[in-house]
């Protein structure tokens, strides 16, 4: 992808004229507004645009190529943090969000109990699965539409926007009717036809890393979604499977600042699926927030032994409140401020 970095002084008319000219030449563009400068991305192969006098287009300061294989998701294309707005709850660019709720929605009584207590503790979104990806076909598969209805009811009661997993293209219409944020789970991170489809739809997406994916693959999956036009993608680190059997997965906190350097998208952590046991969920959440994550998604259940999935890793509501108190007191790492202080213009 080639990008045109516009001058500080470029006017709206310059930007429009430049985009129109590129359109005449047969190129779609996408716009990344910055703090001081706007960036115009030219979609397609750079060989197709070689030879055009890009420098002479109105308001253009620099013509650059995005070197990362993920283009629209990269910081090169979009230097400032993306801020995602979910029904007024902002995520990214210094706005930290904790999403909490059960792994699976089971009863309405449990759900509303969880939603009320996590809200009181400071969570600003409610999670809950209605379609569950289970290792065994004989395990509980989720409540389906009934679960979605319960989530919508809990949103009505508490005002918390809801996050739920979309497992399959066949459930798109149903899930989109109810939810505010779509969760794409580890097992679907490289379901490219699903990613392409949701990129053309309007709701924000939380994209979890795959069970053993690399950062580059995770960001390429975000690029699949963004190639469809959607800009609201939240990267979620849910742990990676390693050779260490003590935990279900390992939450690689290295990846938080690493990703934030390479993408403008918010990066959140999922310590529940990383730890696999509740004893370590709070400390890992704390670590993720300390290292500078834009948020966390945490499983909570008032009766973990009755939970229909992932009970072992569910925090009790009182554990969650304690964790939130600690997180709220925590001064978090700001990688951008550090890079700036050290005088490196990279971020």
Q: Give contact residues for ligand PEP (rule: CB under 6 A).
A: 103, 129, 133, 185-187, 208, 238, 270, 273
- Residue indicated by tokens 């500080």: 8
Alpha carbon of 105 to those of 113, 142, 175, 243: distances in Å? Answer: 12, 7, 14, 31
Give the residue with the Cβ less far from Mn ion, 70 or 280. Answer: 280
- β pairing state of 181-184 and 162-165: parallel
Give the residue with the Cβ less far from ligand PEP, 59 or 276. Answer: 276
Least distance CB 344 / ligand PEP (angstroms): 33
Kindly indicate which of the ranges 56-64, 89-97, 102-110, 204-212 contains the residues binding Mn ion, using the contact rule CB under 5 A: 102-110
E-strand ranges in the chain read 2-6, 29-32, 39-42, 60-65, 84-86, 89-91, 97-101, 125-127, 162-165, 181-184, 205-208, 233-237, 267-269, 295-299
- Interaction between residue 123 and Mn ion (CB under 5 A): no
- Contacts of residue 269, defined as CB under 8 A and 6 or more positions apart, other chains included, come to 236, 237, 238, 251, 253, 256, 284, 285, 288, 289, 293, 295, 296, 297
The residue among 150, 161, 163, 164 whose CA lies nearest residue 112 is: 150
- β pairing state of 89-91 and 60-65: unpaired
Helix (H, G, I), strand (E, B) or coil at 43: coil
- Interaction between residue 105 and Mn ion (CB under 5 A): no
Give the residue with the Cβ less far from Mn ion, 30 or 110. Answer: 110
238: partner contacted, choices Mn ion, ligand PEP, none (Cβ within 5-8 A by kind): ligand PEP
Give the residue with the Cβ less far from ligand PEP, 104 or 282. Answer: 104
- Sign of torsion, CA 300 305 308 310? positive
Residue nearest to Mn ion (CB): 103
- Interaction between residue 175 and Mn ion (CB under 5 A): no
Give the residue with the Cβ less far from Mn ion, 81 or 310. Answer: 310
Which positions from 285 through 324 interact with Mn ion, judged by CB under 5 A? 310
Least distance CB 308 / Mn ion (angstroms): 10
- Interaction between residue 103 and Mn ion (CB under 5 A): yes
Give the residue with the Cβ less far from ligand PEP, 187 or 231. Answer: 187
Q: Phi and psi dihedrals of 236, rounded to 5?
A: -125, 125
Give the residue with the Cβ less far from ligand PEP, 180 or 270. Answer: 270
- Token pair, residue 250, equals 């390992």
- Interaction between residue 165 and Mn ion (CB under 5 A): no
Which positions from 213 through 272 interact with Mn ion, judged by CB under 5 A? none
Residue nearest to ligand PEP (CB): 185
Least distance CB 314 / Mn ion (angstroms): 9
Binding stretches for Mn ion (CB under 5 A):
103, 310
């Amino acid at each position: 992808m080639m990008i045109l970095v516009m001058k500080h002084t470029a006017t709206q008319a310059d930007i429009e004229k430049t985009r129109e000219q590129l359109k005449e030449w047969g190129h779609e563009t996408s716009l990344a507004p910055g703090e001081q400068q706007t960036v115009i991305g030219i979609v397609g192969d750079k060989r197709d645009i070689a030879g055009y006098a890009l420098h002479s287009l109105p308001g253009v300061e620099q013509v650059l190529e995005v070197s990362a294989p993920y283009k629209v998701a990269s910081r090169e294309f979009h230097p400032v943090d993306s801020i995602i707005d979910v029904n007024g709850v902002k995520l990214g660019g210094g706005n930290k969000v904790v999403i909490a709720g059960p792994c699976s929605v089971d009863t309405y009584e449990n759900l509303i109990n969880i939603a009320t207590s996590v809200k009181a503790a400071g969570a600003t979104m409610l999670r809950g699965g209605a379609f569950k990806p289970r290792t065994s076909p004989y395990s509980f598969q989720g409540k389906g539409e009934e679960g979605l209805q319960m989530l919508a009811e809990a949103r009505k009661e508490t005002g918390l926007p809801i996050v739920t997993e979309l497992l399959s293209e066949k459930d798109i219409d149903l899930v989109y009717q109810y939810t505010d944020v779509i969760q794409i789970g580890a097992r679907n991170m490289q379901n490219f036809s699903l990613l392409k489809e949701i990129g053309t739809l309007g709701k924000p997406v939380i994209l979890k890393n795959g069970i053993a994916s690399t950062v580059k693959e995770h960001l390429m999956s975000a690029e699949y979604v963004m190639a469809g036009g959607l800009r609201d993608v939240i990267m979620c680190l849910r742990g990676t499977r390693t050779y260490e059997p003590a935990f279900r997965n390992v939450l690689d906190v290295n990846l938080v600042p690493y990703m934030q350097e390479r993408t403008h998208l918010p990066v959140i952590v999922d310590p529940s699926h990383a730890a696999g046991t509740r004893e370590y969920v709070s400390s890992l959440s704390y670590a993720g927030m300390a290292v500078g994550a834009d948020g966390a998604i945490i499983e909570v259940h008032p009766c973990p032994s009755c939970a229909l999935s992932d009970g072992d890793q569910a925090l009790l509501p009182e554990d969650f409140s304690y964790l939130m108190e600690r997180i709220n007191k925590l001064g978090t790492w700001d990688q951008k401020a550090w890079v700036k202080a050290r005088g490196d213009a990279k971020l």
